């Protein structure tokens, strides 16, 4: 199926059920991976040092024009290894861990639910949040798990649904009221 066909079908997301969408997404990724072998300049190469992982990652995402639909290929500085998926998985795990331990914090973890939300007094650098979003998207595209347990309301917002639609007790305002009245 040509790229033109994928682009045309993407205009009508309601045509497919979720299983078919996932299959098309995986098929598109396979085609892009095969094209990447023929055109190595199209890869999203990222070389990072383990000691300065987050700084190198953010710097690498800022400095190089990328097509985020291409597979990410991670290289750890001064280490041998070819990223066939394992290095990317390790990379996203380590980056998530560093973002969770960042000071000042970008994300707050609610201990009772293990849900994560953006810190209102956190980093004022909106670019850092944009890069966090890019990392989450790249992890999703690379079929890697990244440990940010965002509430359902965020995904509803990203999909264009009203944040308070859906089951009661699942909205951010409900969680905020619950947290405000609970003893700390």
Is there a domain that residue 156 lies in? no
Output 9 or 40, whichever has higher pLDDT.
9
Give the pLDDT score at 24: 77
Is there a domain that residue 166 lies in? no
Per-residue tokens: 147: 């440990």
Question: What's phi and psi for 118, nearest 5 deg?
Answer: -70, 135
CATH number of domain containing 69: 3.90.1750.10
Give the pLDDT score at 85: 74
Statement: residue 135 has pLDDT above 70:
yes
Is there a domain that residue 12 lies in? yes
Averaged pLDDT of the chain: 78
Number of domains making up the chain? 1
* Cα 88 to Cα 145: distance, rounded to the nearest angstrom: 10
How many other β-carbons are positioned within 10 Å of the β-carbon of residue 136?
A: 15
- Sorting pLDDT into bands at 50, 70 and 90, what band is 50? very high
Is there a domain that residue 138 lies in? yes
How many other β-carbons are positioned within 10 Å of the β-carbon of residue 183?
A: 3
Output 29 or 151, whichever has higher pLDDT.
151
Q: What is the pLDDT of residues 22-35, one digit of tens each?
A: 787 788 777 776 76
Per-residue tokens: 4: 């033109």
Look-up of token digits 């041998």: 80
Is there a domain that residue 24 lies in? yes
Q: Which domain holds residue 14?
A: 3-105+122-150
pTM, two decimals, is 0.66
- Sorting pLDDT into bands at 50, 70 and 90, what band is 48? very high
Q: Which long-range contacts (CB under 8 A, 24 or more apart) does 176-180 make?
A: 179/110
* Cα 34 to Cα 146: distance, rounded to the nearest angstrom: 25
Is there a domain that residue 81 lies in? yes
Q: What is the pLDDT of residues 76-113, one digit of tens each?
A: 999 887 777 788 899 999 999 999 998 888 898 898 99
Is there a domain that residue 179 lies in? no
| E-only strand ranges, the chain | 44-48, 72-76, 107-110, 115-118
Question: What's phi and psi for 44, nearest 5 deg?
Answer: -95, 80
**pLDDT > 70 in the chain, percent:** 73
Question: What's phi and psi for 74, nearest 5 deg?
Answer: -100, 140
Is there a domain that residue 8 lies in? yes
Average pLDDT over every residue of 52-62: 93
């Amino acid at each position: 199926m040509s790229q033109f066909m994928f682009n045309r079908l993407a205009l009508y997301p309601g045509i497919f059920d979720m299983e078919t969408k996932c299959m098309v997404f995986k098929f598109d990724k396979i085609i892009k991976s095969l094209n990447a072998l023929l055109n190595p300049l199209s890869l999203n190469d990222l070389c990072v040092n383990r000691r300065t992982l987050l700084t190198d990652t953010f710097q690498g995402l800022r400095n190089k024009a990328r097509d985020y639909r291409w597979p990410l290929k991670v290289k750890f500085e001064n280490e041998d290894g070819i990223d066939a998926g394992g290095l990317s998985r390790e990379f996203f795990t380590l980056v998530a861990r560093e973002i969770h331990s960042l000071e000042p914090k970008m994300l707050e973890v609610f201990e009772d639910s293990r849900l994560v939300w953006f810190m209102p007094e956190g980093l004022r650098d909106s670019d850092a949040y944009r890069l966090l979003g890019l990392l989450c998207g790249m992890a999703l595209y690379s079929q890697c798990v990244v440990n940010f347990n965002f509430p359902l309301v965020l995904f509803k917002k990203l999909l264009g649904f009203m944040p308070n639609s859906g089951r009661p007790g699942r909205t951010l305002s409900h969680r905020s009221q619950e947290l405000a009245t609970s003893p700390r």
